[in-house]
Chains A and B, each alone.
Chain A
Amino acid sequence: MEGPLALLVGCFFASAIYLMLSDSLIRILLGVTILSNAVNLLIFTAGRIVKEVPPIIPEDAMVPPIATANPLPQALILTAIVISFSFFAFLLVLVFRTYQGLGTDKTGKMHMAEEPGDPVPPRGY
């Protein structure tokens, strides 16, 4: 399973970077989302994919009798998913508000914070 998943992660990274190189905010946003999914899958793959049972200990034992799967990658990804989901929600609102406020979603036309062609600072005193 690792091979195909690794390929998938690679494809996700590639398409995320492609989307984020766009000049349209909504595509950048989609790129960020795909990127966070790529990272989550990467953690999942790096945590070893095995066909083992969940780490549940039978009632009459103190230790699991057979090898079990590692639950930690899932816990990590769950945290990362919650975080990236909340960030996506925030970014969506921010981008929508920016579109309303600035009247454009093209990064090339957004220069309220950085004026193009700033004149040189005054040299004289």
Chain B
Amino acid sequence: MAESAGHAAVDIASAMVTAPIAPLDAIIIAPTLITLLFGSVLLMARKRPETQAPLGIVGLVFLTVATAGILARVATGGPLTMTMGSWLPPFGITFAVDALGASFAFVSSVVALVVGIFASRGLRRVESRYGFYPFLLLMMTGVCNAFLTGDIFNLYVWFEVMLIASFGLIVLGNSKEQLDGAVRYAVLNLLAAAFFLTATGYLYGALGTLNMAEIAIKLREGVPGMPINTITALYILGFGMKAAAFPVAFWLPASYHTPSPSAGAVFAGLLTKVGAYALLRTLIMLMPSEEALYDTFLTALAIGTMLLGSLGAMAHSDFRRILGYLVISGIGVILAGLAIGTAEGLAGGIFYAFHSMIVMSALYLASGLIGQLGGSQDLRKLGGLYGASPLLAGLTLTLVFSVSALPPFSGFWAKILVTEAAMVNGGWWLAGIVLGTGLLNALASGRAFTQIFWRGGPAGTPDGAEKSVPGEIAREDRLVLFGSLAALTLMSLGIGLWPSPLMRLAEAGAAGLLDPTLYIRAVFGGAS
């Protein structure tokens, strides 16, 4: 090379990663490539609606396989990293994934795949014409990469990728409710992103780095005179808004019930969990001492979120809005795990996030089928659907049990973990509220179930006077619609009956957050 001829040798190896990474480790960017490729191909094929669903589902299958590969690689070989442009960390943008990120990415791709299959029959024509699948794939680019990135500014970029695609999804269909809901959703989420970026700007000003591993090192060593309280508070506010935590959660029930059931399902399952993941990552891994400082505050947030969600679910009569409040209540449990902050508490919160992704998506899909059969989402106008579809009733009842955390369904184990950790470390009253909101959720969702399925007809109809049901689900659609709903329900049941694999993952994720040595070594040791 020319440099080495003319000048005293500068060791490029000290600034650049010269060793190629192992070919299999390149799998860390597979989700990005797959979703961007399929998203853009789907956009090009927008004039041919018949290709959208098959292509989109193929893309989601590839994505699921890729994230499963990442998870398998992380489970056997520890955290996986790749730095863009061969720059040495912390200069290049790093992709870094540990057990937590890999498992979140895997569970979200599975949920997205099932929802994508449901949507192949569950969409109205206008929604598939105007690009449901491209938006879904591009949203998954943002969701997966938010879990895989190791750079905090890059995290902001993936948040925005996810956000703009979700704006597309929420207005598909173009009804007045959707426009109204989309304005609330868009403005408040942009505000949250601005707070997140502000905090990142301060963090960069104080530390001079954006690499999460280096931030974790520097903050553990302690930097005198940096505005760490401001930064932490801004992160809690920004991510809390994204995750729909207590005082800043009202955009969620105002907007999530407006899009089509398929879009609502991915929103409820995935988007709030990305906010929760970011809170876990920043508060526990990056600034652990600050988490201890904010303990009481976070506990109050968790309690407020759980109570707001459960009481809101009690107070509403629109089934999908009830579900929106149940999502918030679940976020409260994750925050409780975060506020407890011990390995057990965090594992419980992470496990609850997995459970909530699967069960809330399934409930939104169920609400779509209920709306199709009963012609409404209003509990007053619904009734007698058990006669129309005992299968749907059975699946919904299973999900109602799961969201109320009754054994043997997935929510049960997560709540056991959080409650146990709260008894040991967070106080009996926190444990009591975790259990009490489970009871309130059982009341709210159980009431919705009995009124939708068991009552003879709409409100005021006497029992036994079976009324004909307005809607019907076409015979050729039944297999796909009920099959995908049943798949998610069985997953919840499967986790409930055999929780140990997922629980080990959650524990590994929590351990990685509390002691990021392996993560840091993977980022900085990757160069040698």
Contact = CB atoms under 8 A, between A and B. Distances in A.
Interface residues of B, number: 53
A86 to B, nearest CB: 7
Interface string B145-159: 000000001001100
Contacts of B176: 101-102, 112
A46 B315 contact: no
A63 to B, nearest CB: 7
A83 B194 contact: no
A65 interface: no
A12 to B, nearest CB: 11
Interface string B182-223: 111011001100100110111011100000000000000000
Contacts of A25: 183
A94 B171 contact: yes
Interface residues of A, number: 46
Interface in A57-99: 60-63, 72-73, 76, 79-80, 83, 86-87, 90-91, 94-95, 97-98
Nearest to A123: B447
B492 interface: no
Interface in A11-39: 20, 25, 28, 32, 35-36, 39
B448 to A, nearest CB: 8
B476 interface: no
B103 interface: no
Given A35-B194, A43-B197, A122-B317, A94 B7 contact: no
A72 B258 CA distance: 41
B380 interface: yes
Contacts of B10: 62-63
Interface of B: 3, 6-8, 10, 153, 156-157, 160, 163-164, 167, 171, 174, 176-184, 186-187, 190-191, 194, 197-198, 200-202, 204-206, 253-255, 257-258, 314-317, 379-380, 447, 450-451, 454-455, 459
Interface of A: 20, 25, 28, 32, 35-36, 39, 42-43, 45-48, 60-63, 72-73, 76, 79-80, 83, 86-87, 90-91, 94-95, 97-98, 101-102, 107, 110-114, 118-122, 124-125
25 contacts: A20-B187, A28-B187, A32-B187, A32-B194, A36-B190, A39-B194, A39-B201, A43-B197, A43-B205, A47-B204, A47-B205, A60-B7, A62-B10, A72-B204, A94-B171, A97-B171, A110-B183, A112-B176, A112-B181, A113-B181, A113-B254, A113-B255, A114-B253, A121-B314, A124-B459
* Shortest Cβ-Cβ A-B pairs, 3 listed: A46-B205, A121-B317, A43-B201
